[in-house]
Structure 1
Amino acid sequence: MKIARNTALRAAWHALCALGRRSVRTRGAHTPLRIAGSPRSKRRPSRRIRWRWRALGLMLVLAIGGVGAAILSLVTPREHAAAARVITIAPGTDARRILHRLAEEGIIAHPLPVLAYLALTRQGAHLKAGDYRFPSPISPLEVIRRLIRGEVVTEKITIPEGLNRFEIAELIARLPIRDADRALEFTEDASLIRDLDPQADSLEGYLFPDTYTYTPSTSARDLIARMVRRFRAVFTEEDRARARALGFTVREIVTLASLIEKEAKLPEERPLISSVFHNRLRRGMRLECDPTVLYAALLEGEEDRIIHRSDLARPSPYNTYLYPGLPPGPIASPGREALRAALYPASTDYLYFVVDGTRQDGAHRFARTWAEHQANVALYRRAQARLSRPSP
């Protein structure tokens, strides 16, 4: 039985093999039939299959090389000739247009690798508008980082305490910003301060002295508006309440602070000078403040200069030698400490002050009576005479 079973199995196997050979001949020489359990064919792959594998391998090598070259191009610093130029990216500019602009300027070699990087990292929407400078050399990746961080070009301008709006406009007119030549015109826009000072006919006194940043895209109007916003931030609601408690309007306090700012040369003297003005106002005395006379001359087209006796008779409402009380409005931009001094004067009974002729730092001598004041004036004049006397 066992021999017969083996003989039958061999016969079946040969029959299947014969069937397979016929099927192969029917389907073609290049389509071998695999029979389960049969020995693996040792025939080599066809030439077409080998070429396909070779092409696939070559494409893979080229792809890896291309990716490597793209990565290398992203991190390699590139020399360019636009380092001194300001590149302005307008608000709303998409990543593709930004990169094409950078390529046109020569800052990046080609936008495609950078676009691919932005697409993969999903950072294309995070590029910020503004004015930029890109040093040379710089890598495209560093360019992108600067655009994402918004590292725009900024310059600074410092407005000192005590400048009037004409002087501030002159400083702004020298800046490389938009509409710089219209700065003085913009200081006449009293609408920016109308709620605080309904009587204002300009921004005199409200252009807060501080350090401000700007870019080439900044306009003179924007810079001036920022100065007004800074004043609002410094002169708080608490300060307005204090002004009301003293019986002053915001305009009157700013006006008084501007006089203090122009007179005081030493910070510690601001509250003392303020006390003199407060005391004289309470008594209905003329303030007799020299800077107001010079401001009156300025409004009539005369340049800033030393005061002359004839100026004391100038028929201007700003002439505090001629008219009692405060002048019609501020004569300069007071700083924080001058505003505070106007609101919180020192507690004194001083009515007069004059420059201390024995010192060279701008200090003053204060007096309670006219006689004391005249003695201080005589001391000042003797000191001036000694200084003007020619050396032997």
Structure 2
Amino acid sequence: MPSTRKAYRAAILHSIADPAVVGIEASYQYFEDGLLVTENGRISALGHATELLASLPADIEVVHHKDALITPGFIDTHIHLPQTGMVGAYGEQLLDWLNTYTFPCESQFADKAHAEEVAGIFIKELLRNGTTTALVFGSVHPQSVDAFFEQAQKLDLRMIAGKVMMDRNAPDYLTDTAESSYEQSKALIERWHGKGRLHYAVTPRFAPTSTPEQLTLAGQLLSEYPDLYMQTHISENLQEIEWVKELFPERKGYLDVYDHYQLLGERSVFAHGVHLCDDECARLAETGSAVAFCPTSNFFLGSGLFNLPMAEKHNLNVGLGTDVGAGTSFSLLHTLNEAYKVMQLQGARLSPFKSLYLATLGGARALRLEDRIGTLQPGTDADFLVLDYHATPLLSYRLQQANNIAETLFVLMTLGDDRTVLQTYAAGNLVHQR
């Protein structure tokens, strides 16, 4: 068999630890003239080009990018496949937005052909924006998840998705039942979980749209398949929190609803968490659960500002989420631009190296996949990006003024978008070329 070994030469940067824990300087590796070697879908070597080139066989292909930065692929820990067609829907906050725009849009996924069409657009947008792994909400229809996984499998992507479970407080045309959601989820788990690089997530939409019976069965699925994921929403909007109190008066708070039904754990990711308190952050951290920080959608729906310093205080795992369609961009670079502003509004700073961590290794840790993705360490999956320093005239000019990698990285995150992503690789295969 011919070798699949390839080498890529460029400036190379990746996170190796959380800057909030080890300090900025110990949190990353940077090679001004670096070499990344891949073989059979994995990274086999990483280091300074001058040191590694001599060790390579003479016939290996070396792709040289002189004005670019190689980073790990981005990881989106919260996004909705069925909301692709309603990005930028005007003028509502969360609960009205769901009823006015989201539910009608999601109803179209009863049609498998529609689900397949949107899944194709959705995956192309992810890859065009440099996202190589995403934690994805389907619709209530099992075929939405089938359509997504079928297309992700063809490209050998590492993706996680689940069918929404929703048996109350939604239109009749979009609800399942506790039992049907359990049976349909179980069938999808058997069909897709662990197939190639695909994983399944048990997906109750949020506490108000699930009965206690449905939440009980969601917890049962997690106990039956211990390596499953669980994704849902929490504490995004003040009205939503009051609604949860009305629906579950016996519980001491929003998080306690999920805790009671055994939904917290090392592969559980809770989107938003804008209005979490100290005790809830501590409980999430204690159980190994994670939060998806979604600044773009939190701004768009007027939900509030996520308190990242409080999460850091409790060593709570935090990933980054675009939350399309309330989020208005598939780009995690754009999302980091917004995250920086969220911190500024709270009198805190978000360093470019913490930003890189959130978009890569932080997301991998939130998903318990840091041994596979999120870094460029040898042995991990060859999921990586080539970011173009000359993607736009303004970016090119601005980067000429940058004095170090910290400034370069920050400019990429404030001026960058999908155009910045020159190439996206998944499992060593080129899956997007600008």
**Band of TM-score, shorter chain:** under 0.3
Q: Structure 2 length as normaliser, TM-score?
A: 0.18
Structure with higher Rg: it is 1
Higher share of residues assigned helix = 1
Q: Structure 1 length as normaliser, TM-score?
A: 0.20
Higher share of residues assigned strand = 2
